[in-house]
Structure 1
Amino acid sequence: MVDNFTLTENEYKKLSIKFRAVASRLLNSQFQEANGNLERFLSFIESSPTISIFIEENNKTKYDMESIVRNRGYNDKFQLPINDSEEISFIYQLLKHVSDKKIDYYNISLGYNHGKKIQGSVDSFNNQVVRPLVNHIVTYLGEMAIDMGLDKKSGGTQFNIGDFRGQLNHAEGQATISANQIFTETQVADLKDVSQKYIKALAEDQLIPEEQKAEVAEFLEAAIDEAESDKPKKAIVKTTAEKLQAVQNVATTGSAVYTLGSQILTLLQGLMA
């Protein structure tokens, strides 16, 4: 495993957030944009020492992708290996092959369609082939957080969602608010207060998948960090809003999750203006 101590806590959080964002962009690609999003995904992995070393450690089995892709039947799906390391190797090498040979993303997704729509093929391919690789990396990052002791850190307000533990520093007066910030101290406090209630309601909601709960909680924590920053990164805030909206689409109208989510979305608009 990569030496976790080469990353600070903030560096780890930024890496985790950025990876989830670029992975989400690929997984939710429109077919016209899929090749470009694949390039972004692979570029991020290769430019991140922590993730690229993880890939290298698992990428031991070599596959003849030229032959595998060429000999695949028109309606055949790729047979993913059972072993985790071999599965990581196979998927990563397949995606690299698509990128290096400039294969149209739709062509590689043939066999995954359930109808005549191109988008359906791309969506199914991403869900059945790309998502397992993303999940392996997310799991690795989660294990890294445990090894770094981030799951046992004290201080702040703890929110438990299954095995996920997010932290928000909810104490008054602990953050220094700059005069140049978009959010005032009162607005930041409001965002933290509503977020605290939202996370608790989210943990109790039975309709929202556990993975989605953990993801939105992590992005929300990052958005609050940006709200306290002199120069908030709009990309992180925008992705957080998208994750929240995805939960809104599942949540029951009028529920605590839905009501509090709407309040947070309104507050985040100030950071995206």
Structure 2
Amino acid sequence: MKYTSQEIQDISSNFRNVARRLSRTDYSQCDANLKRFIKLVDNEPIIKEFIENHNKHSFDIEEIISSRELTAPFNVSPEIDEEISFEYQLLKYAIEKYDGDFTRLYGTHWYTSFKSTVNDEMSKFINHIIDPLIDFIGDYLRNCYDKAICDEKKNEPINSGGITANYSTVVVAQTVGGAVSNNVEINEGTVKQALEIVATIKSTLLEENSKIDSDVLDVLNQIEKDIKENNKPKKGFLVALKGFCSGSAAVITLINSLIKLFSIV
């Protein structure tokens, strides 16, 4: 299946949101966050295809778990296909055997040390097994996005004054100030209202969390930049923002107002 860069951006935004929740989970939510992650991996075609292409090695996970020495980390192969196969199969086993509680893969309390908390040991496991798989998938999606951008640029019209040319047609383009404009401009009133909503989102996030996550701030700044340039913010950024802020009902309401303002479906 061929994806546009916008489609990949939307998929990547959703993946980052789900993956971030798993990577930062605490013990109370580890099972739900793993289930959510594996469901996305298994049901999003572009990610599923990546896993299928690399999940080439079969591991006896039950035997690996039973033979693992206490506080000895799982052995991860330096070979990429083997690593992806093992990490994916280990997490799938946690879903099937332990209903998503991946801490039971190593005994819940201790992964590599007897002298730390359950959450600390869980973080070690996440860093060792889960985060690398997240990175592999994230890198793949970025590569797919870059390739889609390159393919789309090959088919972009070539502009010359008021004439737009592509591979098969030549048409007269509507120009503004002598240049072809592909952006949808918005009026001054909408700009003002949209910027007020963005400012309110920022202040609400600060009130709720004392600081704004860097990823959220990057997205907000890009949306703000688009608005100040009299352009509708890209749908992908708004989707990503909703994902990042899913835990705040107040912020989600504001984002929905922003989406409605620009009639972005």
Q: Do both proteins adopt the same fold according to a TM-score greater than 0.5, normalized to the shorter chain?
A: yes
Cα distance in 1 for partners of 2:84, 2:182 equals: 46
1:163 corresponding residue in structure 2: none
Residue in structure 1 matching 2:8, options 3, 6, 12: 12
Cα distance in 1 for partners of 2:116, 2:102 equals: 16
2:104 corresponding residue in structure 1: 107
Instruction: State the Cα distance separating 1:241 from its structure 2 match.
Output: 9.5
Cα distance in 1 for partners of 2:150, 2:115 equals: 45
Matched, 1:40 2:40: no
2:55 and 2:85 in contact (8 A); partners too: yes
Residues 68-83 of structure 1: matches in 2 within 5 Å? Answer: 68-83=64-79
Residues 1-273 of structure 1: matches in 2 within 5 Å? Answer: 6-102=2-98, 104-109=101-106, 110-113=110-113, 115-149=115-149, 174-175=183-184, 184-188=190-194, 219-220=219-220, 228=233, 236-237=241-242, 239=244, 270-271=254-255
Cα distance in 2 for partners of 1:152, 1:133 equals: 29
**Higher RCO structure (Cα 8 Å, ≥6 apart):** 2
1:234 and 1:272 in contact (8 A); partners too: no
Change (3 A) 1:218 1:140: farther
Cα distance in 1 for partners of 2:193, 2:71 equals: 54
Change (3 A) 1:229 1:87: closer
1:168 corresponding residue in structure 2: none
Cα distance in 2 for partners of 1:223, 1:120 equals: 36
Cα distance in 2 for partners of 1:113, 1:177 equals: 58
Q: Deviations over 1:18-70 (max 9, x none)?
A: 00000001001111110111000000011101000100000001111010011
1:42 and 1:96 in contact (8 A); partners too: yes
Percent of aligned positions that are identical: 26
Instruction: State the Cα distance separating 1:184 from its structure 2 match.
Output: 3.6
Cα distance in 2 for partners of 1:82, 1:126 equals: 17
1:234 and 1:271 in contact (8 A); partners too: no
Change (3 A) 1:13 1:222: farther
1:63 and 1:90 in contact (8 A); partners too: yes
Secondary structure of 1:82 counterpart: coil
1:26 and 1:37 in contact (8 A); partners too: yes
Instruction: State the Cα distance separating 1:107 from its structure 2 match.
Output: 2.6
Change (3 A) 1:41 1:228: same
1:27 and 1:131 in contact (8 A); partners too: yes
Q: What stretches of structure 2 of length at least 5 have no aligned partner?
A: 157-180, 199-212, 227-231, 258-265
TM-score normalised to structure 2 length: 0.63
The two structures, once aligned, show a CA RMSD in angstroms of 4.2
2:98 and 2:104 in contact (8 A); partners too: no
Secondary structure of 1:41 counterpart: helix
2:22 and 2:34 in contact (8 A); partners too: yes
Cα distance in 2 for partners of 1:235, 1:152 equals: 22
Cα distance in 2 for partners of 1:116, 1:36 equals: 23
